[in-house]
Amino acid sequence: MSYENEIEKRRTFGIISHPDAGKTTLTEKLLLFGGAIQSAGAVKSNKIKKTATSDFMEIEKQRGISVATSVMAFNYSDKQINILDTPGHKDFAEDTFRTLTAVDSVILVVDVANGVEAQTERLMEVCRMRNTPVLIFVNKMDRDGKEAFDLLDELEDKLQIKVRPLTWPIGMGDRFKGVYNLYDHSLNLFAANKTNISEEIIPIEDLSDSLLDEAVTKEFANELREEVEMIEGVYDEFDRDDYLAGNLAPVFFGSAMNNFGVKELLDAFCRISPAPRGRDTDQGFIEPNDSKFSGFVFKIHANLDPKHRDRIAFLRIVSGEFKRNTFYQHSRIAKKIKFSNPTAFMAKEKSIIDTAYPGDVIGLYDSGNFKIGDTLSETGKFNFKGIPSFSPEIFMELENLDPMKSKQLDKGIRQLMDEGVAQMFIRQPGNRKIIGTVGQLQFEVINYRLEHEYGAKCRFAPRNYTKACWITTDNNEQLDAFKRAKASHVAVDKDDNLVFLAETPFLLTMAEKDYPDLTFHQTSEFKLEGE
């Protein structure tokens, strides 16, 4: 198969949602339709009866939430589908934001009862920053919820995007009869089926066909006819270019738990979603059909298999063909590295690959060379831009509870920081470690993983900082004066960049006023600002 064909057949997307909207369940069902798994486990009431394929960390199994991004690949309808399942919980939003840099499109899962929630809006803002194409799947139609037209209005209003339904529900909750495919003019009748694939699909080219009355009763058939007429009158025809530009979101309805409406979503996704896209660098834009290999690290995960103490860097391939046992240039450390065991993923199941193409996400065994955002390429002459990083919102000091395990604690916390689980700031004197996160739950994950993966015990003591700002300046004299005056609020991050830990927004404003030659950056990406 030609290089261009390899690119065209790939589809790399992320699944995002507010917690409990059914994102991980939908991921399982997509794998089921793709033949990657034979039956699906039920995720119910936030407890995993049979652990979801994409949730593999022990703490995820216990809490019933996704805290790490999982990568899964399968083939369907002549396409290679690469799914990145993201954490839904808001405390792990930063991992989700980074993951969105590695995908070409997104499926946003919305609960029919709850509609658009706060985390949904925040995730959508990140998609809009990059004009990422978005498909919306309205889930749990077998339960009572908001009326379909009301929900479409809410999606447009709160997400600031035009919508166009491509499937339409017939009834809801106890009255749920199925979905009508507006794109393919076919009817899929609903039957609760949690473990296998439902395939009762009836082609109905014309809604006046009496087959419709027989399938769903005359009452429901007439209701569907009226609603479809309203859709055609209110909403513009689906325009794929509008969708690809991030201006229009096609909407699908179904029940992921019951494998219903998922096939319509997957079939349409394969037809309309974008092939792998290029990415911006500090030396210009790199297109996927560029023959020279390049890619970037968007995630690092230590101890994917706790028995083997492995550390894997997740690399999104942007251009060219990646080949096993070939030397590539690591831009940041100016070093050539080759990889003897690059892997493809099926959640935690890994298989060694010889080649990979744009759109693919591969795992590279890493001895500590990689950090999030690193670029790997044939030339080593550029760096990819735009891996987001934010000032934390909660700060706590790490306290060692077992001095005999100090080395394990130090190694563990540094590896977890490299993964992007949280950010660490070191204060002197005393080498005090301040951990910053965007949510409280991250501290539980850090504590759990330090104990169970590294054998180190610790606790976290709250510190009353509200903002971490990275400092740059050309005025060293003013910088020295600032460091003397704010000694108890100055730290360095894990890369030795100077950071001001501000207790209040007022004190940050005063520092900016009193030290005008210092620039206080709200993101650790300050090196790329202004380029």
Instruction: Report pTM.
Output: 0.79
Quickly tell me which residue has 């740059």 as its tokens. Answer: 472
CA pair distance 252, 268, nearest whole angstrom? 10
Answer left, alpha or beta for residue 406, where phi above 0 means left and psi between -120 and 50 means alpha. Answer: alpha
| Amino acid 229: pLDDT | 93
| Amino acid 212: pLDDT | 83
Residue 493 to residues 116, 398, 471: CA-CA distances in angstroms? 36, 14, 11
CA pair distance 1, 10, nearest whole angstrom? 13
| Amino acid 302: pLDDT | 67
CATH number for the 394-528 domain, one of 3.20.20.70, 3.30.70.3280, 3.40.50.80, 1.10.3720.10?
3.30.70.3280
| Amino acid 284: pLDDT | 92
Cβ-contact 486, 500 below 8 angstroms = yes
Q: Which of 246, 298, 294 is nearest to 273 (CA)?
A: 246
Pinpoint the residues of the chain covered by CATH 3.40.50.300.
3-272, 279-377
Q: Which of 23, 130, 83, 54 is nearest to 269 (CA)?
A: 83
| Amino acid 65: pLDDT | 40
Element (H, E) at 66: none
CA pair distance 358, 316, nearest whole angstrom? 8
Cβ-contact 95, 77 below 8 angstroms = no
Strands 294-302 and 375-377: antiparallel
Which tokens is 462 given? 């709250």
Chain-centroid distance of CA 65 in Å reads: 14
pLDDT, averaged per 10 consecutive residues of the chain (531 residues), comes to: 89 88 86 71 36 46 46 87 73 69 94 89 82 95 94 95 94 87 78 51 74 86 92 92 96 89 91 95 93 92 59 92 96 92 70 92 88 90 78 91 93 84 89 88 87 91 93 94 94 90 94 95 60 37
Element (H, E) at 203: strand 201-203
Task: Give SS3 for 485.
Answer: helix
Q: Which CATH superfamily is domain 3-272 in?
A: P-loop containing nucleotide triphosphate hydrolases (3.40.50.300)
CATH architecture for the domain at 279-377: 3-Layer(aba) Sandwich (3.40)
| Amino acid 424: pLDDT | 93
Phi then psi for residue 437, to 5 deg, are: -135, 170
